Amino acid sequence: MGQQWWRNAAIYQIYVRSFADSDGDGVGDLPGVRRRLSHIAELGMDAVWLTPFYASPMADGGYDVADYRMVDPLFGRLADAEGLIADAHWLGLRVIVDLVPNHTSSQHPWFAEALAAEPGSPARARYHFRDGVNGGPPNDWESMFGGPAWTQLPDGQWYLHLFDAAQPDLNWEHLDVHAEFENILRFWLGRGVDGIRIDVAHGLVKADGLPDARCTGQSGLLTTTAMPFFDQDGVHEIYRRWRKILDSYPGERIGVAEAWVPDADRLARYLRPDELHQAFNFHYTQAKWSATEFRTVIDDSLAAVAGVGAASTWVLSNHDIERHVTRFGGGRTGLRRARAAALLTMALPGSVYVYQGEELGLPEVTDLPEEVLADPKWERSGRAERGRDGCRVPIPWSGTTPPFGFGPSSAWLPQPTEWAALTVKAQRDDPGSTLSLYTAALRLRRGLPDGELTWLDSDADVLAFRREPGFTCTVNFGSAPVRLSRPGRLLLTSTEESELEQSEQTVTLPPNSAAWWTGDDTHAR
Ligand code: GLC
Ligand code: MG
């Protein structure tokens, strides 16, 4: 791949503990990933992003890191990470690893030291320790997982954790914190990783004086409202420094922001030329299944990144949000829409992220028994929110009974028995499967023209756009068929080709479907 490989890369997200288990403990691990990497290469991806595999008490699935340079025994050893990077490169896949700088585990040596120290001592200054106000916490900030963002210690002081109490927030005004993370960054870059995904990239810097947010339900407002603990201007200074580090290594090493911010323009600030290369487009994940909602988010995203000379990313699912088959209605309709959304997404200018299992059309598992729920959201919300485990159920690879080839014996979350029909093996040789659709789309995507997107006029339920030379994508979001002038020769459709009624001049787009077309301008409207 040429210069600036990330601008149109297809990147596959591996949620390590649910991808493939090699040692029979029911939890996915790095040797498991190594054995299954060829699936990702065959799918036609350009890169993988691995979620955290570092030493962790696993209070938040590994996003609570106790040692950033060590592989947790649950996932393997450092040699497995090195082997994985080498294997991936051999298969032509770049590797992005997760970096978690907003907080450490409460079992990180720094936090242990802070807890053992007196209030006001230097060891506490690496985190946010404060005295309470009127017998309560220092301010009204809420944990993203529910409840207050502060926990009180026996000595009376409180510490800040925007996530679980086992994830204390670091104080990014402390020089040790900067030095340590620059060092960790170099540790992984030195091992050959091609990029870092920055967890909670919007959270590192807090507003001066930690002012109240003055609202409740804060975790539900992140994509619409400014908060004193997120997206503060000071974070950008950090990424400017990290960019210099990334650029000091050979090859094009990238930084990807996980940033939940109020709008596309705020997101684009992370992508200024001297900052990060990519940021996840979460506004895209919030669009309802509607032509107008998708058109708006696409236009806003493209306009915002154009302003800073960056490329957009397109994300339908990840390990924190409900799988889009279910989001778009579930069942047969949800799957039809998800397949159409995949073709829409892969036709857009920019880079696409694919979350493991979406290429199989996996739905959210909504009926996990309460006793297996592991997401800290479940307990922190007073068991009001089940949390994110439903999108983290281990991948079905083969066979007719659980764990469907995920590992030798079991899976840490139970897989639905119906997934027998959705295994990689069952889908591989079925030309109508979602896996075949993704494989075909990713292959064709490499040859798509790189022209800008221009919308074509069409029915209210239809989005149709061109990219020159000669490519058209059509999506019917409605529940009725829509007839259009035929945009050219059919390349690929999310439904069966027989569902499209094509004549010389026109085509009927079935409900909840998308199609890719090429060439022959005479048929264009
Ligand atoms: C990010 C991760 C999520 C994690 C949180 C705290 O949002 O994607 O899984 O719980 O950060 O680290
Ligand atoms: Mg294992």
pLDDT in tens, 35-47: 999 999 999 999 9
Q: Identify the H or E element spanning 110.
A: helix 109-116
Average pLDDT across the chain, whole number: 97
What percentage of the chain has pLDDT greater than the value 70? Answer: 98
Q: Which atom of ligand 1 is nearest to the CA of 163?
A: 6
CA-closest residue to ligand 1 atom 2: 199
Task: Tell me, using a 6 A CB cutoff, whether residue 461 lines ligand 1.
Answer: no
Ligand 1 atom nearest 63 alpha carbon = 12
Is there an atom of ligand 1 within 6 Å of 320 CB?
yes
User: 12 falls in which pLDDT band (50, 70, 90)?
Assistant: very high
Find, among 452, 198, 441, 200, the residue nearest to 312 by Cα: 452
Residues 6+ apart with CB under 8 A from 32: 19, 20, 21, 22, 407
Mutate to test the pocket of ligand 1, among 102, 145, 199 (most ligand atoms within 8 A of CB): 199
Residue 411: what pLDDT?
98
Residue 393 CA to ligand 2 center (angstroms) comes to: 14
Interstrand relation of 351-355 and 313-315 (parallel, antiparallel or unpaired): parallel
387 CB-near residues (< 8 Å, 6+ apart):
145, 373, 375, 376, 377, 378, 381
| Cα distances (angstroms) measured from residue 9 to each of 82, 166, 198, 278, 411 | 23, 35, 18, 11, 31
- Type of residue found at 95: V
Pocket test for ligand 1, best of 16, 163, 222 (most atoms within 8 A of CB): 163
Ligand 1 centroid–CA 51 distance in Å is 10
| pLDDT tens, position by position, 201-255 | 999 999 999 999 999 999 999 989 999 999 999 999 999 999 999 999 999 999 9
Confidence band of 459 (pLDDT split at 50, 70, 90): confident
Contacts of 90 (CB under 8 A, 6+ apart): none
Tokens representing 253?
Answer: 């090493």
Amino acid letter, residue 190: G
| Ligand closest to CA 374 | 1
**Ligand 1: which of 18, 170, 200, 223 to mutate, judged by most atoms within 8 Å of the beta carbon?**
200
Active site residues: 199, 258
> Which ligand approaches the C-alpha of residue 80 most closely?
2
Q: Whose atoms come closest to the Cα of 407: which ligand?
A: 2
Mean of pLDDT values over 86-97: 98
Cβ atoms within 10 Å of 92's Cβ, excluding its own: 11
200 touches ligand 1 (CB under 6 Å)? yes
d(CA 56, CA 53): 8
Segment 475-499 mean pLDDT = 96
CA-based torsion, 434, 440, 441, 446: positive or negative: positive
* pLDDT exceeds 80 at position 2: no
Between the CA of residue 279 and those of 96, 241, 282, 402, what are the distances in Å?
Answer: 13, 17, 9, 36
Please report which ligand is nearest the Cα atom of 29. Answer: 2
Assess whether pLDDT exceeds 80 at residue 324: yes
pLDDT of 369 strictly over 90? yes
CA 37/CA 34 separation, integer angstroms? 5
Peptide bond into 403 cis (omega under 30): yes
Cβ(359) – ligand 1 distance below 6 Å? no
Strands 313-315 and 158-160: unpaired
* Nearest-CA residue for atom 7 of ligand 1: 200
Q: Of 221, 162, 408, 517, whose CA–CA distance to 507 is shortest?
A: 517
Cβ-proximal residues to 389 (8 Å cutoff; 6+ apart), any chain: 365, 368, 372, 373, 374, 375, 378, 413
The pLDDT of residue 481 is above 50: yes
What is the torsional sign of CA 171, 173, 176, 179? positive
How far apart are alpha carbons 63 and 382 in whole angstroms? 21
Instruction: Please indicate whether residue 389, judged by its CB atom, sits closer than 6 Å to ligand 1.
Output: no
Atom of ligand 1 nearest to the CA of 164: 6
Cα of 363 from ligand 2 centre, angstroms: 24
Residue 507 forms beta bridges with which residues? Answer: 484, 502
Region 164-178: what's the mean pLDDT?
98
Closest C-alpha residue for ligand 1 atom 3: 320
Instruction: Please report the pLDDT score of residue 3 as a whole number.
Output: 82
pLDDT at residue 498, as a whole number = 93
Residue 501 confidence (pLDDT) above 50: yes
For 503, half-sphere exposure in the C-beta direction (CA atoms, 13 angstrom radius) is 6
Query: Region 272-284: what's the mean pLDDT?
Result: 98
User: Which pTM does this prediction carry?
Assistant: 0.97
User: From the CB of 64, is ligand 1 less than 6 Å away?
Assistant: no
